[in-house]
Structure 1
């Protein structure tokens, strides 16, 4: 076994990153200063969206996005089962009911065909969703044209969960430009493409939504006289006009984000080189390799393989454990949300979303991070070949 495990994902911190953070430590502002707006501007420049707001996590960003779109008790939010639980939990935070749409067997994203079928039945039942959250799993864009068409026909709002996808493109345009959605959410967790240690952001092209989310991320407090009920008492004056939260990002996090965003092109290019190399090295093994939807460019946060279990003699668990034992820090993204005990208590059952469960029984996330060396990748491939025997 190797002395050091090759992780499935890893941040890259350079001296420039450190210098940016230290400069904030030496400044007058550790929070609510000029660097968070600078980071937001970098997101706007990259995505082309009109507005960008940084948050302390993507989970917070999902929550305020749902609130800004008016999700309340009695409403329905739909998302995919193959995602981290936050994509669904944000609906529960608002008192809404959550349901799922099974995945496309090729992209592993929310299937627009199954979505349309479910919408037709929901319309008959009077249970149409207020919000649908497609998740760009692994950085692979969803079929947003189809989803946007259905949103217009059935009257629901769309939040793109692009936690895996900054730097990716859909039909030649950056993910996050909100051409096909109301709001897009990004994550900057350490294993993501760009990191701020912890952090998230929303983008939108709607001024009213941006103002609402800005209010909600900071206690529901405003210093804008135009939004106040009373005339300001003085320069110190503020008013709480809604029930908000402390979801703000710190200046330290934003400084790291600004520095990281300067290298986003390099990050994505490195990931694509690694993915192309994986595709070549693994092409003859009994695996299903990642599929790329036409007219898209993945952010490649994850590189997920599926085992052809009928062609190998060992089980999914055995392959996973052999890889871990050899020093390859594989993972599995994700356990279908509807199979979690909390969601089972809400009435979901095993078998509800068979394609998602089939995916879970075969999928393994191989190491993928932009600083990964070809030597490390060769080790992963060699370990995988041995694990399949």
Structure 2
């Protein structure tokens, strides 16, 4: 809902910078009032009115803008939900302006489009809140100086921004699917918004293969969400999930969209990730998973991305196909780049257990738990450590 509100207020008042700040204040006000007063019948209209009032108030307090204030006050703030016009994609592409660095574009998008607070984004990127706030302020200043205005780019300009747009949508979905903080593993509203925006993007660009691939990836992964936590909200690893809880409609839609993407014969990283997700989804049981095919797909993905994280994921597939010793060999290939991360320690710990090194496994998983910022993941890792400490030694 956040990008829709930013879009309406930006289009009405011609001030993206002020509209984004005002929308953040309106969202904070809603978080305080709605639990007590109840959610209004038209929540978006409520947020638009609240953001519009805050923007006008901000302009009133600036003596240098009195002339513009008089013009704005004459406009009517919408009393009902705005017409069926969604500016979310315009906001998204504006946040991915080529003048901005990738870090600035991602931070601004997560705030303006994802609705995350500055503190939440700072926590996710492990930087001080003041640093993140300055990054967002500089990004908005650069957008003002660009003089582009609030419009959807077209042609080469749009194509130039598309890679950044896909990347930030992917990050939004990841944060929603595995939150970087808090008790809950999921932030459903954030992953849901990423899927909604990806749908809008594919409607606007129906023949863009990586846009289709990203939407397919999101759907194929989100289909497993009902089985990903137990009744206490704790993480359930993929091999242990009840696959009857997976959403078959989402899986079928994801596979269909992936087919449309692959038909364009321009395979990219999101299509390959979606293909890997599809192999998992079509396996009736964990044992039926075609790990050989997944290994091949990860090798292709490595060639496209050169990512150490992809190599680490390939290590898991190699371990399943060829045994834990081979998996550990691949894990150690990226020790210099990922050796101090939660994910690397966790993967290596599980493979050490499979190879019979219980003490080494417990040590790695304990270190991974100490680095975990999501409490659900942390509890899962601590439980595994306790289990390993109780196992008899050979």
Name the TM-score class by shorter chain.
under 0.3
1 or 2, which has the higher helix percentage?
A: 2
Higher relative contact order (CA 8 A, sep 6+): 1
| TM-score, normalised via structure 2 length | 0.23
Structure richer in strand, relative to its length? 1
Q: TM-score, normalised by structure 1?
A: 0.23
